[in-house]
Each structure stands twice: as structure tokens, then as C-alpha cells.
Amino acid sequence: MYYLADIFPFLNRWRKLPISRDQLFLIMAAINELFMGLDTYSAHILNGTIRWNEWIPIIFGTSAGILLFFAGLIARRNRQLANILATIIFFASIIVGFLGSFYHISRGAILPGSSIFASLRIASFIWAPPAMAPLAFVLVGILGISAAWIEDPVNSGKLRINQRLSIQMPFSKTQAYFWMVTFGILVTLVSATLDHARSGYLNPWLWLPFFSPILAGTIAFLCGFQKQLSRSEVWFYTISMIILGLVGVIGFYLHLSESLTASNWKVLERYLRGAPFLAPLLYANMAAMGLIVLLDPQEKMIESKSK
């Protein structure tokens, strides 16, 4: 019995899901790459012109998402080829993320002609391009690489590269997923906190996206140290992810309503320069990933074909 079915027994009726937990993560990774390309475009278009290097995450995110869906199609016939293709894309995503974060820091948070330590101030990060935002590409890359390779046996930390070659990790894939979710929540929290700091937190609604990820991230981090969770721990973790997801939906509605005019007209300029309406959905996105961790880790379909 897997974690989610342990607290919701009726899920045992659907043990034979059409796709596995890892395949769900790969689908989430592909969708995230597509949306990160779109979100990067909407953020960079504010300058009126997009520099050549700013096209890199836009083009990469869109292309990576499409290629990952293509890898998913060929995975049923040739899993190893699909894994290699996906791994290359995810490694590239990690590089794009680190380069983007470095570019944001060097362009906004560090003042020209001054030392790094003299320039690194909280105010600089608040008004500079979001330094943590590009790290979402890094998270998706690490998550995708972990999901692409099968853990055999389950919860052993042994990743099977092919029939003869495998890599032994110091912890299980489920534990790694918990920590990846923690990292994703942390990135989302820091980005949202810096954005909301521009308004001085005068709106009490802004405290919801501050405290809810701290709760969810802390619980996910602690769960990563447990080889086997108790039912109460699974309940606390699940409730924290549901709260995080609800905060994301509420934030999406509030951001969307703020971009409307007094007559409820939808003006494109207000969507681009107003509150970023896609940003709160990152909370719901991380909550969905957090709940996927609790699904059955067994690769039934793949194992049945390999026997």
C-alpha cells in the first residue's frame, strides 16, 4: 500500500493506474518547461524589447516541453532512448537555470563598479530581477533526471541505467522527491517574498503565501529523513500540501482580479505590468508535485514488459 492509499483507502480500487508516479513527474516536468517559457516571455516583454540572451529560456522552455512530450511517446517502445533524450534536456535545463540566476544577480543586485559584498543588500534583491526565479529550471531538471531512471528495487536508492548498469544513491527516490519538493517550495517562497516586499506587506492577504510554504516546506524537509512515514506524518504532510495548493488558487484569483479595470475589462497591459497572475499557481504546482510523491512508486507497466 502506498502513502496516499494508506490515508485514503478507497484509492486501493485504482491501484493499476494508467501511468506510474515517475511518469506523472515527467509529465509535470514537460508542462512546467512549457509554462516557464511562457512566464519568462511575459516577464521579459515588460522591457519593450527582449535581449538575445533573454530569448534563451523562452525558446528553451518551449522546445524542452515539446521534446519531453515526444520522449514520453517513444518511452513505451524504447525506454532507454527516451531516458537518454530526457536526461540531456534536463541537464540543459539545469544549466539554463543557473545561468539565468547568475545573470539576474549580476544585472540587478550587484551595482556596477562595486564589490559583491558591498552590493548585496536586501533592497537590491527586492527591486532587481528575481534571482531565484530561474532556479525553477534547475528544480525541473533535477526532478526530471530522477524520474527518468527507474529505481529497482523500489525504495532502495538503486537507479537502473540499463539491464547491467545501475547507480546506488545514498537515499531512496521517495526521500529525494521530498527534498526536491522542499527546494521548489523554498524557491517559490523566496521569489514571492521579494515580490510582495515591494508593497510592504500592507495587505494582510500577503501573509498567506508567506506562512503556508514555510509550513509545507518544513514538513516536506523532515519527511525526507524518514525511510518510512507513519500515518500521522502522511496526514500532516498531505494537509500542508492541500493548504499550499489552496493558497495558490486564492492568489491566482486575487492577482487576476487586480488586473481587471473598474469595469471588469481585461486589458493586456495591466496583465503584463500588474500582479503576475501565473505566479501564485506555482504554489498549486508545488502542492501537486508534493501529492504525487505519495503515489505508488512501483513501475508496473515497465516491469511487466521487461519480464
3-state secondary structure of 146: helix
pLDDT at 48: 59
**Mean of pLDDT values over 22-38:** 88
Query: Cα 288 to chain center, whole Å?
Result: 9
Contact 166, 158 (CB under 8 A): yes
pLDDT at 260: 57
Using CA atoms, how far residue 105 sits from 52, 95, 132, 196, in Å, is: 18, 16, 9, 18
pLDDT at 306: 40
pLDDT above 70: residue 165: yes
Predicted confidence (pLDDT) per residue in 31-75, tens digit:
999 988 887 777 666 555 677 777 888 899 999 999 998 888 887
pLDDT at 76: 72
Identify each DSSP E strand in 74-200 by its residue range.
150-151, 158-160, 166-168
Q: Which residue has the higher pLDDT, 302 or 16?
A: 16
pLDDT at 300: 56
Q: With bands split at pLDDT 50, 70 and 90, how would you rate the model's confidence at 290?
A: very high
Q: With bands split at pLDDT 50, 70 and 90, how would you rate the model's confidence at 126?
A: very low
pLDDT at 301: 44
Using CA atoms, how far residue 242 sits from 218, 221, 226, 239, in Å, is: 15, 16, 21, 5
Task: Provide the whole-model pTM.
Answer: 0.79
Please tell me the distance from the alpha carbon of residue 8 to that of residue 3, in angstroms, as a whole number: 9
Total length of the chain:
307
Please tell me the distance from the alpha carbon of residue 17 to that of residue 23, in angstroms, as a whole number: 11
Please tell me the distance from the alpha carbon of residue 111 to that of residue 233, in angstroms, as a whole number: 46
pLDDT above 90: residue 150: no
pLDDT at 298: 80
Q: Which residues pair with 168 in a beta bridge?
A: 158
pLDDT at 108: 56
Largest CA distance in the chain: 65
pLDDT above 90: residue 181: yes
Pick from 2-11, 81-90, 121-130, 164-173 the range whose average pLDDT is largest.
81-90
pLDDT above 60: residue 305: no
pLDDT, mean over the chain: 79
Using CA atoms, how far residue 305 sits from 165, 234, 302, in Å, is: 19, 32, 5
pLDDT at 175: 92
Q: With bands split at pLDDT 50, 70 and 90, how would you rate the model's confidence at 265?
A: very low
pLDDT at 190: 83
Q: With bands split at pLDDT 50, 70 and 90, how would you rate the model's confidence at 131?
A: low
Instruction: Tell me which H or E stretch contains 24.
Output: helix 21-44
> How does DSSP classify residue 260?
B
